Amino acid sequence: MQHFSPVVQFEQDPVQILDTLLPLYLNSQLLRALQESLASELTARMSAMSSATDNAIKLHKNLSRRSILLLGRSR
């Protein structure tokens, strides 16, 4: 014969659960917002540096062409 033991559930007061979970939830939302802000800032910096690099390459090419033209004219 099998012996069945009853299932015992312990439930906390909903106010106590809310008091425990609310600070954790707010903390996680604040952390998420800070992480998104940091990711956005880093993306903007990477984009700016990429544009600066592209502009420097274009400037270098233009200056190289001009110097070649000037050297050709001076001869």
Would the pTM of this model clear 0.75, i.e. be above it?
A: no
Q: Average pLDDT of 2-10?
A: 75
Max CA separation in the chain (angstroms): 112
Residues of the chain with pLDDT > 70, as a percent, come to 91
CA dist 14 to 8, 18, 29, 57, Å?
A: 18, 6, 21, 63
DSSP code of 23?
A: H
